[in-house]
Every structure is written in structure tokens, then in C-alpha cells.
Amino acid sequence: MPRRSQRSSTMPRARDVPEQTPVTRALQLDAEQQYATPQASGVALHGNGQGVEPLLAHEIVRGALVRFSSPESRDARPPPTAVLVHGIMGSKRNMVSFAKRLVEGFPTWQVVLVDLRCHGDSAGLAPHLVNQDHGVGAAAGDVLKLLQSLKMFPEVLIGHSFGGKVVMSMAHQFGSGVTRLPRPVKVWVLDALPGEIRSAEMGGQDRPEDLISALRHYPLPVRTKSDLMTWLTAHGGFSQGIAQWAATNLAPNPGGGFVWKVDLEAIHRMYLSYESTDLWPFLESPSDGITVSFVRAERSNFRWSGKDQDLIKALGHDVHLLRDSGHWVHTENPAGLFDIIAPSFGGGVDLHLRRAQPSSALN
């Protein structure tokens, strides 16, 4: 069972509170004078005082009614921005469909999708990053640097699983050293808990630590993707869906077969950080302007105890139950997830009705 770390005080421990970085200060200062940028994708560079550091690969999904201002148009408010962060061994590609659903329902918004360090199109950046910790905090700092480079202030942060701890850490770092943010920030944590967890405490099959371990020990090169999937299901006991998903992280090997396009050793370190990172202190004392809500999947792999859920609520945060969904909430019940999150984007939108109507009825 995920456990609450024992402390004699509810005040954050010194090691849990990051110093305010130049990036978080810059985001706070730019929040009221940012401007929209052209659609960005791929990898960018960021000056960090120690040379040029690569930024995360990213994609921006913009609603049909998004309008752009220019750097000279200081009076024009930029489009409201949400950030979607994937889970361990995922990628921005996993979140595209839900991002499109969001901007369909709220067409004045834009959604930033990222590939975290060691993942997706950001996999090759790891050796060039200043912070080689490969933990939750470092991953959160990468996203903050990207947002600073894009001159975007996020109104909504949404993270799934490992990404849920990343967005909490982003908000923790962002709010560190300030009493009140220039604009409210809503944090959505999708089927993840704030405290220390262990894979052994997750019910059922497809435990992440087991999967990462199996992939790390699978001999390379992989002859075919089908070979890997068969081995994972027949010998590893993993579900067919997880085996197919794991195979998406393979890339053709010039010498034949396939190799991993991600750094599994670094990802293993990231997952260990996910297990040990304790963000209860953030929930105990978030900066004014930051609100946090959790989405619990009805068939979650996590053993959401009444104690954890009650404590989250006692600290003033919401827990929403998403019916008819396992851990992969954004793909198993995207309509239900949209309905839960929609108020953070400015109100309820009956996207189901809108999609059911012919286009002529909407004009």
C-alpha cells in the first residue's frame, strides 16, 4: 500500500523544498507579459549560463480559435496553455489524442506535449543535460525550462502516473520562494499518489518495475517486435497491450533487428525516483494560486487506501473517481476524463452532444 512518510511535523523538510531557480523566477516575471509563439516542435536549445543546453522535444496542439499576438503586442493576452506529461516509458505521442479532445472542447486553448528526458524524441538529449540526476525533480525542471524558452505560462498542468509526480514537482518548484503566483495554476494528477510507493504494492500484472527489469535483460538486438511481444506475454506474464506498447520503444538497428531507442538504464533510475519521491510536503503547503486535484481510476493498479485518499482531501485537494477505466485513463475512458477536467478549462462542454450532432446543426 502506498505509504505516507512519517514526520514529526507537517512542515516540508529542507530537502523537499527546492531553491527557486532562475527558470522559475523568469516564468513568474514573464507571466503577465508573455506572447504566443508560432507552433513549435522538435528540439530547441536553451542558454543556461554554462553554455547551450538542449530542450525537450515537444509539440503544441492549438484549438481552432487560437489567435496569436506578436512580441510587440504587449497588450494582447496569449492563448491559455495546458501542459500534458506522459508516464514512464511513454511519450508525447501517447497524449496527442486527448490533447486534441481538449482543444476541440475548448478551441481557444493550446496544449503543450513533451517527451520527458530519456523518452521519445528526447531520448538522445540525456548526455547533454546539465542535471544528470534523472529523477522526478530534474524531469520537472526540464519542462519548466522549455516553457520559459517558449515564453508560456501554463494555467493547467496534467500528468499521468510518473507524469503526475512531475507536474506536482513542477508546481512545487514553480511556487518555491513566492507567496502568490501571478495567475492561478491548476494541477491534475492522473492515477498517481503523492508519496513513496513500491511496485510490490501494486495489484495485478504489468507492474512497471517488473516490465523495466524484463526489458533491460532482454538480449539485443531484438530479432522482431513480434518476438519481444511473444516473450513478454508467454514468459513475462505481461498483458498483450503492455507488450505491444513496450515494442513501440524499439528502433531499427543498422546491423539488423531492433534496439531500444530509449535509455533503459536511465529510465530505471527515473522510476526508482518516482517510487521514492515524497510530494506530501507540496500538498501540505502549496503556494497561493496553486490547486491540485487527483483522478483515481476505478480499476487502478495502485492500491488507493482510504487513508491516502482521506489525507489528500483533508489537505484541501479533490479526488475524482473515473469509472470504467484502468490505469490508462486518457485512453480507456477519455470522455469521462474530459468531463472531470473540463471545469478547469472554463466550464463544462457537452463534447459528446457536439460530436453527435451534424456540423450544420452547430452553425
pLDDT digits (tens, 9 = 90+) for 234-263: 988 999 989 999 999 999 999 999 999 988
Domain presence at residue 98: yes
Burial of residue 22 (number of CB atoms within 10 Å: 0-12, 13-18, 19+): exposed
Which H or E run includes 234? helix 225-234
Distance from C-alpha of 165 to C-alpha of 233, rounded to nearest angstrom: 29
Question: Would you state the pLDDT for residue 225?
Answer: 97
The predicted pLDDT at position 54 comes to 86
The CATH number linked to 308 is 3.40.50.1820
What was the pLDDT predicted at 348? 65
Same domain, 148 and 85: yes
Q: How confident is the model at residue 76 (pLDDT cuts 50, 70, 90)?
A: low
Q: Could you tell me if 196 and 276 are in contact, meaning their C-beta atoms sit under 8 angstroms apart?
A: yes
Q: 5-9, 82-86, 125-129, 252-256 — which is least confidently predicted?
A: 5-9
- The verdict on 192 and 294 lying in the same domain is yes
Which residues, at least 6 apart from 331, have a Cβ–Cβ distance to it below 8 Å? 94, 97, 98
Whether residue 24 sits in one domain with residue 60: yes
359 pLDDT band, cuts 50/70/90, is low
Pick the more confident residue, 176 or 94: 94
Confidence of residue 208 (pLDDT cuts 50, 70, 90): confident
Per the structure, the count of domains in the chain is 2
Work out whether the CA dihedral 322, 325, 329, 331 comes out positive or negative.
negative
In a domain, 4, yes or no: no
pLDDT at 291: 95
Cβ partners under 8 Å of residue 362, min gap 6: 354
Instruction: Give the orientation angle of helix 22-30 with respect to helix 162-175, to 10 degrees.
Output: 80
Q: How many CB atoms lie within 10 A of CB 213?
A: 16
Pair (192, 281) in one structural domain? yes
Domain assignment present for 6: no
100 and 45, same domain (yes or no): yes
Shortest CA distance to 251 belongs to which of 296, 221, 219? 221
In a domain, 272, yes or no: no
Residues 168 and 216 in one domain: no
Residue 155 pLDDT exceeds 80: yes
For the chain, what is the mean pLDDT? Answer: 81
Q: Are residues 85 and 232 in the same domain?
A: no
The residues pairing with 357 across neighbouring beta strands, listed in sequence order, are: none
Q: Report the amino acid identity of residue 214.
A: A
DSSP3 helix / strand / coil % (the chain, rounded to 5):
40, 20, 40
Instruction: Say which residue, 30 or 110, is predicted with more confidence.
Output: 110
One domain, residues 101 and 176: yes
The cell numbers describing 13, all together, are: 523538510
Q: What is the pLDDT of residue 207?
A: 85
What domain range is 227 assigned to?
Answer: 204-267
Q: Is the pLDDT of residue 188 over 50?
A: yes
Q: In terms of pLDDT, which residue wins out, 13 or 249?
A: 249
Residue 3 domain flag: no
Query: How far, in Å, are 25, 39, 262 from residue 134 at the CA level?
Result: 23, 28, 13
* Domain's final residue, options 212, 237, 267: 267
363/231: higher pLDDT: 231
SS3 279: coil
* Exposed e or buried b per residue across 290-313, where buried means at least 16 C-beta atoms within 10 angstroms of its C-beta: bbbbbbbbeebbbebeeebeebbe
Closest CA to 84 of 159, 194, 189, 151: 159
Percent of the chain with pLDDT over 70: 75
What pLDDT was estimated at residue 341?
A: 96
Domain boundary among 239, 267, 295: 267
Residue with cell 528526458: 117
- Reported as a pLDDT band with limits 50, 70 and 90, residue 73 is low
Q: What is the mean pLDDT of residues 186-190?
A: 98
Shortest CA distance to 126 belongs to which of 173, 59, 57?
A: 57
Rounded to an integer, the average pLDDT of 130-143 is 89
pLDDT one-digit tens code per residue, 309-318:
999 999 999 9
Do residue 247 and residue 313 come from a single domain?
Answer: no
Number of neighbouring beta carbons within 10 Å of residue 276: 14
CB-based contacts of 187: which residues, under 8 Å, 6+ apart? 156, 157, 159, 167, 168, 171, 290, 291, 292, 293
Residue 339, amino acid:
D
Range among 68-72, 114-118, 261-265, 284-288 rated most confident: 114-118
Eight-class DSSP state of 95: G
Rounded mean pLDDT of 215-237? 95
Res 125: pLDDT: 86
Q: Please give the Cα distance from 215 to 241 (Å, whole number).
A: 15
Q: What percent of the chain has pLDDT over 90?
A: 60
- Residue 187's DSSP bridge partners are 157, 292
Asked if 141 and 243 sit in the same domain, the reply is no
pLDDT-based confidence at residue 19 (cuts at 50, 70, 90): very low
| pLDDT at residue 301, rounded to an integer | 76
Query: Does 178 share its domain with 213?
Result: no
Residues facing residue 42 across a β-bridge: 58
The pLDDT of residue 25 is above 90: no
Question: 329-339 pLDDT, tens per residue?
Answer: 999 999 999 99
Find how far residue 118's CA is from the centre of its chain: 14
Q: Which of 267, 286, 303 is the last residue of a domain?
A: 267
Average pLDDT, integer, range 146-163: 95
